[in-house]
Amino acid sequence: MAVQKKETGSGRSGGSNDEKSHAMKLWVLCLVPFIMVLGNSMLIPVLPKMMKVMNLTLFQVGLVITIFSIPAGIIIPFAGALSDRIGRRVIMAPSLILYGLGGLGAGFASWLFPHPYGWIMASRLAQGIGAGGTYQLAMAVAGDMFQSKKRASALGVLEASNGLGKVISPIAGSALALVIWFLPFFAYGVLSFPVAALVWFIIQEPKKNQARGGIGQYWQGLKHTFATKGSSILATFLGGAAVLFILFGVLSYLADILEKNFGYGEIVRGMLIAIPVLASAITSYISGTVLQKKIANWAKKIVILGMGLIALAMVIEPFFATTNVVLALAILVLQGIGTGSVLPSINTMVTSATTSKERGVVTSLYGSVRFFGVAMGPPLFSMAMTHRFVVFWAAAGLAVATGLVAWFLINQRDMLPKKIRGGGGSSKGGHVHHLSHGKVKATREKLS
């Protein structure tokens, strides 16, 4: 009896301490997507000025976004697989440092060289490699920490933090560019180094989050996950890539239109671009909070509804994009709501589709396709300058097709373990099998 009482008491105390520790870690993790999203969003309102200063075409300046996103997309799966073996923070902290160094390299090149475009591209390449070990691993850590319905809420907060970064970064980038056009590059180093230190010292991972067994066993488990849930996982991957492809493509196009057609300066452009992104961030937070209670019934429906809103916005937007700023932004708010609805739902399903042993690589593969979507958006939407209706309506078609794929292929019961769906107990492949018989018994006694 004394032993049983001690277990129960320590369990309660430990649970309270764990909640406080998890809350602190979650706030630190929120800084990671916030910093990472600055990599592209802070430069979008500055792109027109970069075009003038370096005498670039719209396509060339769009590659400043692409050269960051493609290497990040390539590196992410390797970073995720490695994090499953050696831990998340030992990948995240050095990645943040490299991310900051790449930004400083682009800044110094712009300052010191008369023709800095090539140096900027090389520095952005290095920065993208660093970005490959950041946000998706933060998602994996959150998935490791929260094993219940709180996971949806935590991932909603992370996506909202990512969205908040998208809101603040255009305004911050515009303000910094008023001083001198390349100053935003220096902000990456100033911000990322302290965050790297916080990740290193605050994110203390339990050893059980690291993959056990040989590399063959690891890949066998990963192969089994894709064999049983592959269609659902790939459908969610498509959803994440599609919404970010459309979002960043539209934002880069909007930045150019606001300058050329309406003559707005950097600060006004940044504030206007932030409006639809703010709608996305607010929706992400609300969606994650709602999903905490309704995840079993709403995740797939929210994805389909969000894709429908994005498709509707893309159909209407080209009629007003070049003539009426107020209506154009109102329509893009609709797109932002759709984006903010889709991403938390998909994030929850992706991070819940596997155990912590393979979570790093699965969420990182998801991150790769997200980055590829971001990479392709600006250069392809540059064609909207001459073929506006074709580009926007093609984007609408992509959104509709993605919604249909989600409708037919996503099986949320396969993606979400029983703990998150509700009904008590533990799903197969969950973490109860790691507990000893005595701990399981003590847990049942506490619940009763």
Average pLDDT score over residue span 361-390: 83
| pLDDT for the residue 219 | 63
With cut-offs at 50, 70 and 90, classify the pLDDT of residue 444. very low
Q: Which residues contact 390 (CB under 8 A, 6 or more apart)?
A: 383, 384
Which band of pLDDT confidence, cut at 50, 70 and 90, is reported for residue 80? confident
At 354, phi and psi to the nearest 5? -145, 170
Report the pLDDT averaged over residues 2-26: 54
Neighbours of 299 (CB within 10 A): 26
Q: Give me the mean pLDDT over the 310-324 stretch.
A: 94
d(CA 169, CA 163) in angstroms, rounded, equals 10
* 152-156, 234-238, 313-317, range with greatest mean pLDDT: 313-317
Residue type, 268: V
> Which has the higher per-residue pLDDT, 390 or 441?
390
Q: How many CB atoms lie within 10 A of CB 311?
A: 23
Site of tokens 């999903």: 291
Tell me the pLDDT of the chain averaged across its residues: 80
Higher pLDDT, 14 or 372: 372
pLDDT at 436: 41
Provide the 10 A C-beta neighbour count for residue 398: 20
Q: For the stretch 60-95, what's the b/e string if a residue is b when 16 or more beta carbons lie within 10 angstroms of its beta carbon?
A: bbbbbbbbbbbbbbebbbebbbbbbeebbbbbbbeb
Residues of the domain holding 23: 2-447
Joined together, the tokens standing for residue 213 give 């067994």
Q: What is the CATH number of the domain that holds 311?
A: 1.20.1250.20
Provide the percentage of residues in the chain whose pLDDT is more than 90.
29
- The full DSSP string for 147-171 is -STHHHHHHHHHHHHHHHHHHHHHH
What band does 216 get if pLDDT is binned at 50, 70 and 90? low
Nearest Cα neighbor of 246 from 341, 376, 88, 154 is 376
Identify the residue with better confidence: 152 or 169. 169
Residue 81 has pLDDT above 50, yes or no: yes
Give the model's confidence band at 349: pLDDT under 50 very low, under 70 low, under 90 confident, else very high: confident
Q: At what angle do helices 215-260 and 388-409 cross, to 10 degrees?
A: 150
* Of 352, 345, 347, 364, the residue nearest 429 (C-alpha): 352
Higher pLDDT, 39 or 105: 105
The arithmetic mean of pLDDT across residues 107-135, rounded, is 91
CA distance 40 to 249: 12
List the Cα angle 404/408/410 in 5-degree steps. Answer: 105
> What's the whole-number mean pLDDT along residues 285-303?
72
Q: What pLDDT sits at residue 355?
A: 67
Q: Which of 7, 58, 446 is nearest to 252 (CA)?
A: 58
Enter the pTM of the model: 0.69
Secondary structure element (H or E) that encloses residue 146, with its range: none
What's the structural domain count of the chain? Answer: 1
Q: Tally Cβ neighbours within 10 Å of residue 435.
A: 13
Question: What gap in Å lies between CA 375 and CA 373, rounded to an integer?
Answer: 5
